[in-house]
Chain A
Amino acid sequence: MQRLNYIFVRLLELVPVALGITIGLFFLIRAIPGDPAVIRLGIRATPEAVANLHREMGLDKPLLVQYTIFLKDIASFKLGDSLMYQKPVTELMAERVPRTLFLALYATMLSLIITVPMALWAAVKKDKLPDNLIRGGFMLALGMPEFWLGVILLLVFSLKIGLFPVSGYGETFLEHLWHLALPAFTLALHQSSWMVRSLRSDIINVLHADYVDFARAKGLRERLVLVRHILRNALLPTVTILGVNIGYLVGGAVIVEKVFSVPGLGSLMLDSIFSRDYTVVQGVTLYFAVMVILINLLTDLVYSVLDPRVTLS
């Protein structure tokens, strides 16, 4: 019951935040110099053609009116039509969202597979060679920009060795895994660099906790102690980090999508900013804001289930 109240209140908070974001972005994007009508028609367009297109796009009305129209649209779950593609924004997004989500989940899975064993190993061998190597290695990885890592991976594994395709998304599930392997790995490496540091430190804190000693004193097998007592507690803060990461990835990892030419939400967003496609930018930003808030809510809920000491306020 308390949980339901909490969820309700959090969802209510969603509204002003989303509103704030849309206002901000609405005016920001229109402040960018450049006229979408001109971009679409080309530089040689006649002033009349431009003016006509403006009327069609609804850009001839005053800003405030445009904003009210936008709000009304949202209320009826419409996001308008793309100025460039002339398709409903929702349609454009619908075809891209699954791809970005796939990439997001894929990258998250990979990052966990990398992080947990590495953090564990480093924690157990604290200050010895494996620990120093792992920490140093991930420190280097932290310093690697995603675009560069992506470019290098592409070079080595796609162009030279030819193990993975250069771009695209593929048709079947397996093909998705194959096409997205490199971008997912690029994202995962970055996420892991953060998570390994904090998980390692959490595990170290727990390794010598009294309850771990007590568990050993009870005669429990080391494996059981590891999973049930050490990891179960040490992973808690990582849950929060995971939530933040997923929230970020869900909005489309703009750079990675561009480098690997993944036709997802991120590249849509990037292209739309460059082509001044206001409606698409608004729509995707709104989606992103809502998703981030929902994922944060979900993370908090999951955390409160995993850690019984936490009470939701």
Chain B
Amino acid sequence: MATKQALGNEILNVNDLHVYFETPRAVIKAVDGVSFTLRERETFGLVGESGSGKSVTIKSIIRLIHPPGRIVSGSITFAGRDMAKLNGRELNRVRGKEIAMIMQDPMTALNPVLRIREQIMETLGEDGSMKADEKLERAVQLMRLVGIPSPEHSLNEYPHQFSGGMRQRVMIAIALSRNPRLMLADEPTTAVDVTIQDQILKLLLDLQHRLGMGLILVTHDLGIIAQTTDRVAVMYAGRIMEITDTVTLFKNPHHPYTIGLINSIPSIKRAHEELEPIPGLPPNLANIPNGCRFHPRCAYATEECKSGDMPLRLVGQAHYSACIKDVR
């Protein structure tokens, strides 16, 4: 991996974010008190199972939450402004230009009836200053940047004519087109083959490095976290369980959930042993257990785990955990 650049100032500060989905049946607390920060050029990972709230968290950053979901409380400060309080026009100015997002499934994220060329150029059009041929040139440039062969020809194609990996690259090209300061990647490798996954990740990191962007990577795959991130937060049932730099997380995990996740990764070295999944299922987000959210599945849980707030506490250098015990 290329040597990391020095990290810059803090550009994003998410503080005590609560995002709830208010349905007639119940209130689903998808994100229930999440806080973290990001610095310029930093690669931050958000890892957790399905339903842990990681996607909702990053979608909230650019307020892409649909009713009945809404940001109930908390602040999202980007470059000094609270995103939760921006009006429509200001929000649109931030989206795409300062914060960009790539989504999980490139097949559904691209408009099926428009050519690639149009989908790139319309993004560039929001800046208002470029003329048509300038935009086209820039589009070709972007296609080259993400490694798509015969860019001029490919621009005239439709999304369904590309392979999954190519579509993902196109999405990245579109996201980067206005040189954003922060890139949000929602499970960018989930929908592609394992062989392509690697290419995409390398591409993302390379581009991040070149353009000096911050990157938040959401994934359920600890392997990807290990390969790519500087810092990582482990989410469970709408809350962060543990947050620290990546190396420490793997070398010295504190929270039992993190430990469980790491242990459940199949390892070539321990090929003779059985897989160790975490027993039980994640909780129903409309009915979260009292106390520590993880306690029903935790091998170390005791009475004190069943009630109380469980905020993150400092357990090491820049290492926070929500577990009140010291299990290791």
Mind listing 28 A-B residue pairs with CB under 8 Å?
A: A209-B108, A210-B103, A211-B108, A211-B109, A211-B110, A213-B109, A214-B109, A217-B62, A217-B64, A217-B100, A218-B122, A218-B126, A218-B174, A218-B175, A219-B95, A219-B96, A219-B123, A220-B92, A220-B96, A220-B126, A222-B88, A224-B122, A228-B114, A229-B114, A232-B111, A232-B113, A307-B112, A308-B160
B158 is an interface residue with CB less than 8 A from chain A: yes
Q: Hey, what's the 0/1 contact readout for B115-138 against A, CB within 8 Å counting as 1? A: 000000011001000000000000
Q: Which of B64, B113, B175 has the most C-beta atoms of chain A within 10 angstroms of its own C-beta?
A: B113
Alpha-carbon distance between A171 and B12 when the two chains are bound, in angstroms:
70
Q: Which of B94, B96, B160 has the most C-beta atoms of chain A within 10 angstroms of its own C-beta?
A: B96
Q: How far is the CB of A60 from chain B (nearest CB, A)?
A: 60
Alpha-carbon distance between A228 and B105 when the two chains are bound, in angstroms:
20
Alpha-carbon distance between A210 and B104 when the two chains are bound, in angstroms:
9
Alpha-carbon distance between A251 and B116 when the two chains are bound, in angstroms:
41
A160 is an interface residue with CB less than 8 A from chain B: no
B62 contact set on A, CB distance < 8 A: 217
Complex partner residue of B110 from A214, A221, A236, A308, CB under 8 angstroms: A214
**A residues engaging B (CB < 8 A)?**
208-211, 213-222, 224, 228-229, 232-233, 236, 306-309
Q: Hey, what's the 0/1 contact readout for B177-216 against A, CB within 8 Å counting as 1? A: 0100000000000000000000000000000000000000
Alpha-carbon distance between A221 and B62 when the two chains are bound, in angstroms:
14
Q: Chain A's interface: helix, strand, loop or mixed, by majority?
A: helix
B88 contact set on A, CB distance < 8 A: 222
B105 contact set on A, CB distance < 8 A: 210
A220 contact set on B, CB distance < 8 A: 92, 96, 122-123, 126
| Chain A residue at minimum C-beta to C-beta distance from B126 | A219
Alpha-carbon distance between A220 and B101 when the two chains are bound, in angstroms:
13
Complex partner residue of A213 from B64, B92, B96, CB under 8 angstroms: B64
Among B231-289, those with CB < 8 Å from A are: none
Q: How far is the CB of A302 from chain B (nearest CB, A)?
A: 13
* Cβ–Cβ contact B126 & A214, under 8 A: no
Alpha-carbon distance between A304 and B60 when the two chains are bound, in angstroms:
38
A216 contact set on B, CB distance < 8 A: 64, 95
Alpha-carbon distance between A232 and B122 when the two chains are bound, in angstroms:
15
Alpha-carbon distance between A298 and B122 when the two chains are bound, in angstroms:
30
Q: How far is the CB of A230 from chain B (nearest CB, A)?
A: 10
Complex partner residue of B96 from A210, A217, A308, CB under 8 angstroms: A217
